[in-house]
Amino acid sequence: MSTFFTFVINGLSLGSVYALIAIGFVVVFKSTRVLNFAHGSVLLLGAYVVGRTHEALGFGLAVLAGVGAAAAAGVLIDVVVMRRARGADLGTLAILTLGVDIVLLTELTRRIGVDVLTTGAPWGTNVVDLAGAKVPESRLIAAAVAIVLMAMLAAVSRYTDAGVAMRAAAADGETASLVGVRLGRVAMAAWALAGALAAVAGVFLGSFPSPGIDATLGLAALAAIPAWVLGGFDSIPGAVVGGLIIGVVSALTTGYQEELSFLGRGLGEVAPYAVMLLVLLIRPSGLFGTREITRV
Amino acid sequence: MPDTPPRGSTTNASPKPADRPLLRVADLEVSYGGTMRVLRSVSLSVPDGAVATVLGGNGAGKSTLLRAISGTLPFTGGSIDAGSVEFGGRRLDGLDAATVVRTGVVQVPEGRRIFGALTVEENLRAGGLPLPRRSRVSGRERVYELFPVLRERRRQRAGLLSGGEQQMLAIGRGLMAEPRLLLLDEPSLGLAPKMMERIAGVIAEINRQGTAVVLVEQNAALALEVSDVAFVLEAGRLALQGPARDLANSDEVRDRYLGTADGAAAQPPSDAPSDAPSDAPSGAVRRSAGSTTRPVAPVLRPTGARGHRASAEAPQELSVQGLTVRFGGIVALQDVSFTISAGSIHALIGPNGAGKSTCLNVLSGVYRASAGSVRYGGHELTRLPPHHIARLGVSRTFQNMSLSVRETVADNLLLGRHRLMRGGFVSTGLWLRPARREDSAHRKQIVRVAELLDIAGHLGRPVRVLPYGVRKRVELARALCAEPGLLLLDEPVAGMTGEESVAMAGAVVAACRELGLSLLVVEHDMAFVMGVADYVTVLDFGRRIADGSPEQVRQDPEVLRAYLGSGGDGPAGEAAT
């Protein structure tokens, strides 16, 4: 029982990191209708910057640098590449991001080589005993940070002008521009926000219990794609719930690997997609995917 | 009108400030996708503090003109090929929409595009974004004063407001930016007659407070009444212009825009270009309906395709008993009953928010009834899903239209025939002979319907490029393509000129009479309703307040109070509360 509890707690904390990544997908999609497949390499970039600079700058400043670099990368992708193709169809835009992803990932892989960088996080390898469950301290901090960030995000989107502008732009870009919302800025803000969240997620994905930051870290963002999709593509609460579900599912299937061995090896990687398909079969627009609220 | 000095600091440019117009459009040429030319060498100017009306049929280029001014052409693939738009001495052409707003020109788009997922208050807040925070509070108070109902519903999601309330919100949102020039695209669209009077009052009030207005409005009587100057666009060219009063009295405008159907509905203000008494227009509608009957007759008769037993569904009696619908705490319909006998035309009217669209939504299965029953033939509709109801031969159109805008008109119409299609997955996929034969039969049939509604020329075009009035006809055509026994129409002539609305009435009546189908129509155009309906049910706040023949309903004091306003008799103009 306590192993089960341990798996669930671990899953939830991992899930909150996935949620941060999935929120990035959602925010970019909502504001610019882009399925952003370059998200993984932006995440890797953020983590890479932290890994390379923490010795010189200290962890706190390094994280700021990483977040800044990832946010700037997001803005650059938007301004240099995506903006020129605005209004193109979904497929074209998605393929453009795949191209960006390949370029960025290749360069980062070249720089990292076979190294495994550390994040230099002060919490190191501590493990906390939480009501019988053994949980790495880094995971608990990850969950706490994710919760704080999500709460801030919710507050910003609800109570500030920028938040109202972003929601208006997401709902109806043309009308939003008629009330003076600058769509270009909204798009830039969305890309920057997605990049920043990805960098934070990258730091936690690169911390204990995972070995560190290597060139495959970007693939971790792929694990958030089922979270994004099953949450409903355009719903931030959906991304959060989706992230938690995927986190728990992969923690459980990985944890009970032995017992589930009749399903084959590597189940932990497949299970999120299986859950995603299952959810989509029952609810084709995802858990929270808003079919628009309109009067007919 | 009051001559308030212009705000802002754009006055430096001009050497002769005296008679320089606020807005000057010069030799404007606009096309879509580089091919479809929509505006041809249009020049006009609007003096500061004036109200200007742009009249014209559907497709004349009115909305395009507003888009060119507000910088939203790129969203629909349009571009300015030549000419200029100047506002207070500043060139607007070439600026993007968000920048144009900041110069003081605000457009309230057609079709009340409020942000449905945001609350009323957040919508207003979005409208005030271009202003510094301090000056917004007073702006919001001003909007709430103009539209008290918005204050009551400020915490609700805007998507849940009724059509009329959404229109108020859209106008209020535009006012939040404190524009010097407000562009209103079809503000009275889909509003009850009494509500239209209010909108007219609101426009006058906005103008009195120092904002110039450019109005695009199908209700020409209403528009000319509140305007100082007017322009008439025809096929992308400026055909007429002059003081509103003069144009209202010109024969051309009378015939095309005031003449028959239009005026009677809204007829409020006493000194409106006086129409004939309201009997006359309805008579006109009837006559033209009769006259179109003949040629239509053979057209819609049951389809050539074989095996379509479901087609040409014989209409049944529809009986609504004690229908009640609640959304959370709100009662949208309360104990409403009426009966539509087979083959008759029944109108459902009432103020905005009375529950008319809700009623259609229950009949077509989109909403669930909380209590009561709806029987059509032998079936209890309240328990059936929408697709099942459609299969019984109940077909509908939507107030805000729900066409697949990227698809062609032909494809939209074929979709309407879905319930009549028999070809299976395999035979259609392999394009076997029976499937091909069926396909060509269906295509023939949609061409016939398209011809009836005069949209055959648009069949190959994507809906996206069509003007509003044509889309409206496409939507009706799609419903007719299903060969229904009962047709539900939600505001079929909203947004049409007098002339067009008469033609639409003709087509609708002809189709109903010829096919013998029953019709339930929700519509604010009183000339249309009184002209075509056999029977009228009036709703107010979700309750039935009257029921009877058009003549009975028109004289019902309760209906006059709640809906028609100062309509027929009684002192005009004061009912605008």
Query: Does an H or E element contain B83, and which?
Result: strand B78-87
| pLDDT, chain B, mean | 80
Mean pLDDT of B65-74: 92
Convert the pLDDT of each residue in B422-454 to its tens digit. Answer: 777 787 888 888 888 888 889 998 898 888 888
Residue pLDDT, tens place only, A145-197: 999 999 999 999 989 999 999 999 988 888 999 999 999 999 999 999 999 99
Query: What is the distance in angstroms between the Cα of B464 and the nearest Cα belonging to chain A?
Result: 15
Provide the pLDDT confidence category of residue B293 given band limits of 50, 70 and 90: very low
pLDDT value, residue A78 = 95
Give the residue among B21, B39, B29, B31 at the shortest CA–CA distance from B86.
B21
Q: Which residues of chain B have a CB within 8 Å of the CB of A181?
A: 98, 126, 129
Nearest CB to B109 within list A167, A178, A180: A178
For residue A292, which residues of chain B lie inside 8 Å, CB to CB? 116-117, 159
pLDDT score at A41:
95
- Determine the residue among B103, B129, B359, B396 to mutate to test chain A binding: the one whose Cβ has the most chain A Cβ atoms within 10 Å: B129
Q: Which residues of A touch B357 (CB under 8 A)?
A: 295-296
| Listed range (A235-249, A250-264, B200-214) with the worst mean pLDDT | A250-264
Q: Which of B374, B345, B311, B393 is nearest to B519 (CA)?
A: B345
Q: Which residues in chain B touch residue A175, judged by CB atoms under 8 angstroms apart?
A: 109, 113-115
Residues in chain B: 577
Q: Pick from A171, A176, A180: which is nearest to B102 by CB?
A: A180
pLDDT of residue B262: 39
Per-residue pLDDT, averaged over A226-246, amounts to: 90
Most confident by average pLDDT, A208-217, B20-29, B283-292, B460-469: B20-29
> Which chain A residue has the Cα nearest residue B112?
A175
Q: Are B290 and B513 in contact (CB under 8 A)?
A: no
Q: Residue B566: which pLDDT band, with cuts at 50, 70 and 90?
A: low
Q: What is the pLDDT of residue B269?
A: 37
Structural contact between residues B519 and B346, judged by C-beta atoms closer than 8 angstroms: yes
Average pLDDT over residues B93-119: 90
Residue B313's pLDDT is 63
Least confident of A218-227, B420-429, B552-561: B420-429
Nearest-CA distance from B397 to chain A in Å? 9
Q: What is the pLDDT of residue A290?
A: 61
Sheet containing strand B345-349, strands side by side: B394-396, B486-490, B518-522, B345-349, B535-540, B543-548
Which residues in B lie closer than 8 A to residue A294 (C-beta atoms)?
A: 116, 159, 400
Q: Which residues of A touch B133 (CB under 8 A)?
A: 161
Among A165, A172, A290, whose Cβ lies nearest the Cβ of B129? A165
pLDDT of B346 strictly over 70: yes
Confidence band, pLDDT 50/70/90 cuts, at residue B289 = very low
**Using a CB-CB distance cutoff of 8 angstroms, which residues of chain B are in contact with residue A177?**
71-72, 75, 96-98, 101
AA identity, residue A202: G
* Cα–Cα dist B32/B454, whole Å: 22
Sign of CA dihedral A246, A252, A253, A254: positive
Question: Would you call B159 and A290 a contact, using CB atoms and an 8 Å cutoff?
Answer: no
Most confident of A146-150, A211-215, B493-497: A146-150
Q: Which of A173, A180, A295 sits opposite B177 (nearest CB)?
A: A180
Residue A56's pLDDT is what? 93
Among the ranges given (A163-167, A260-264, B201-205, B404-408), the one the predictor scored with the smallest mean pLDDT: A260-264
Give B34-45 pLDDT, tens digit per residue: 667 889 999 999
* Both structure tokens of A200: 């934070």
| Model pLDDT for residues A22-47, shown as the tens digit of each residue | 999 999 998 888 999 999 999 999 99
Q: Nearest-CA residue of chain A relative to B74? A: A174
Residues 132-191 of A with CB under 8 A from B: 161, 164-165, 167-168, 171-183
- Per-residue pLDDT of A12-25, as tens digits, reads 999 999 999 999 99
Average pLDDT of A269-286?
A: 86
Tell me the DSSP string of B256-308: IIITTHHHHHH--STTSSPPPPTHHHHHHHHHHHHHHHHHHHHHHSS-S-TT-
Task: Please say if the pLDDT value at position A270 is more than 80.
Answer: yes
pLDDT value for B2: 43
What ipTM did this prediction achieve? 0.84
